């Protein structure tokens, strides 16, 4: 039997046929709320079931227990608020119990929010609880400072998908990934979350995980990320060349995860795992400093947070991996769990060092990255200069 979605039902808030036509006609006369990039990602994921059991943006009945206890109002584990903010003056014109048209930057109506509640919230409290910091240098804190002071909660009905210019072949909804898994006969699927190019350490833990299951889903996040993160087009080219040359085609798949990064470390690790369960995955790789940024989280905090939940509640099996590297003495990839040698035997390059090499057109050691990936990154660095 395939793994159940979180909460037991794969949500679908995409309207079709006469229902869609009726609401589209109504939407033209509704009050409008423009969505930012993160909210557009969340809208799409709610509608397609990637964020099951959510059917819309959170009301206070879910928001407050998520922030304070990492659970929805029903008691189901959930760690990241999925919210729609508005400036106080704009929210005043929206009535609870009414419908609101949700639009993009081109003022195109994408969906309707069935507004159940408007509520105030404490930005600092949310940051401290969810991000574990109120430091203005944290990208999640910076985002919160740009939002309005009121959250709008209620179910959504999707009329039109947000537009995507690229990678249509890789944009698969949870229903589609589940169908593909069933067609291929894959029963045990491990997902790998990434917002960076895959280097040899990542490849090593992916292939270790692949030894335990039927298939690997490389599921890169292609929603909004920090400005200094490597662009999605470049990363996708890296993933494609790796899968073409170094992964078994009958046991691996590349697909896009359309979420925006929160950089919430441990809490985001749980969130990422739950979402991959909705896509039909049974296992999830949790590496070192998952979804981390800077020095805000401990190296393995994203591992420890899973201990705060009953495994049956999360439902997807986490696979925990320590920091991995190439050991010259072992003559192979290893981790602190398997290698007895000191760091002087390990091939380790800082992000700064790798970037300097790539800018100079130098390919980092084979033990660190595949040369095909390095060439893609070098070409991107040249174009950016």
Confidence at residue 224, expressed as pLDDT on a 0 to 100 scale: 92
- What mean pLDDT do residues 249-264 have? 97
SS (H, E, C) 235-290: HHHHHHHHHHHHCCCCCEEECCECCCCCCCCHHHHHHHHHHHHHCCCCEEEECCCC
The segment(s) of the chain belonging to CATH 3.10.400.10 are: 17-158
Note the pLDDT tens digit of each residue in 14-68. 999 999 999 999 999 999 999 999 999 999 999 999 999 999 999 999 999 999 9
- What mean pLDDT do residues 365-370 have? 93
Cβ within 8 Å of residue 127, ≥6 positions away: 133, 134, 138, 140, 141, 144
CATH of region 17-158 = 3.10.400.10
Note the pLDDT tens digit of each residue in 270-296. 999 999 999 999 999 998 899 999 999
Note the pLDDT tens digit of each residue in 215-237. 999 999 999 998 888 899 999 99
Confidence at residue 274, expressed as pLDDT on a 0 to 100 scale: 98
Note the pLDDT tens digit of each residue in 185-196. 999 999 999 999
pLDDT surpasses 90 at 374: yes
pLDDT surpasses 90 at 351: no
Catalytic amino acids? Answer: 195-196
Single pTM value for the model: 0.96
Q: Which residue has the higher pLDDT, 353 or 254?
A: 254
Cβ within 8 Å of residue 32, ≥6 positions away: 100, 101, 102, 103, 107, 109
The segment(s) of the chain belonging to CATH 3.40.50.620 are: 168-384
Confidence at residue 364, expressed as pLDDT on a 0 to 100 scale: 92
The answer to whether the CB of 282 falls within 8 A of the CB of 188 is yes
For the chain, the average pLDDT equals 96
pLDDT surpasses 70 at 252: yes
Confidence at residue 385, expressed as pLDDT on a 0 to 100 scale: 67
CATH of region 168-384 = 3.40.50.620
Give percent above pLDDT 90 in the chain: 92
């Amino acid at each position: 039997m395939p793994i159940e979605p979180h909460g037991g039902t794969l949500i679908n808030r995409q309207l079709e046929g006469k229902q869609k036509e009726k609401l589209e006609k109504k939407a033209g006369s509704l009050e409008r709320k423009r969505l930012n990039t993160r909210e557009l990602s969340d809208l799409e994921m709610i509608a397609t079931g990637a964020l099951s059991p959510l059917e819309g943006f959170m009301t206070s009945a879910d928001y407050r227990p998520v922030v304070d206890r990492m659970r929805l109002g029903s008691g189901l584990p959930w760690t990241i608020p999925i919210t729609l903010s508005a400036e106080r003056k704009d929210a005043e014109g929206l009535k609870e119990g009414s419908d609101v048209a949700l639009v993009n930057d081109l003022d195109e109506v994408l969906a309707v929010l069935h507004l159940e509640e408007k509520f105030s919230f404490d930005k600092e409290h949310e940051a401290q609880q969810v991000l574990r910091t109120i430091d203005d240098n944290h990208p999640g804190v910076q985002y919160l400072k740009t939002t309005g002071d009121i959250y709008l909660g209620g179910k959504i009905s999707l009329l039109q998908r947000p537009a995507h210019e690229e990678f249509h072949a890789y944009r698969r909804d949870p229903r589609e990934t589940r169908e593909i898994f069933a067609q291929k006969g894959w029963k045990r699927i491990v997902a790998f979350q990434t917002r960076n190019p895959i280097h040899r350490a990542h490849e090593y833990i992916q292939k270790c995980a692949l030894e335990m299951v039927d298939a690997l889903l490389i599921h890169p996040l292609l929603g909004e990320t920090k400005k200094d993160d490597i662009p999605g087009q470049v990363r996708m080219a890296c993933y494609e060349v790796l899968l073409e040359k170094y992964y078994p085609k009958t046991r691996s798949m590349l697909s896009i995860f359309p979420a925006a990064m929160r950089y919430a470390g441990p809490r985001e690790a749980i969130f990422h795992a739950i979402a991959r369960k909705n896509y039909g995955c049974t296992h999830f790789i949790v590496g070192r400093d998952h979804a981390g940024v800077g020095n805000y989280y401990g190296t393995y905090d994203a591992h420890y947070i899973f201990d705060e939940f009953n495994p049956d509640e999360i439902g997807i099996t986490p696979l925990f991996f320590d920091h991995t590297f190439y050991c010259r003495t072992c003559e192979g990839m290893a981790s602190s769990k398997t290698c007895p040698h000191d760091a002087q035997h390990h091939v380790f390059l800082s992000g700064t060092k790798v970037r300097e090499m790539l800018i100079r057109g130098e390919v980092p050691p084979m033990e660190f990255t595949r040369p095909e990936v390095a060439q893609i990154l070098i070409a991107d660095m040249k174009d950016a200069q």
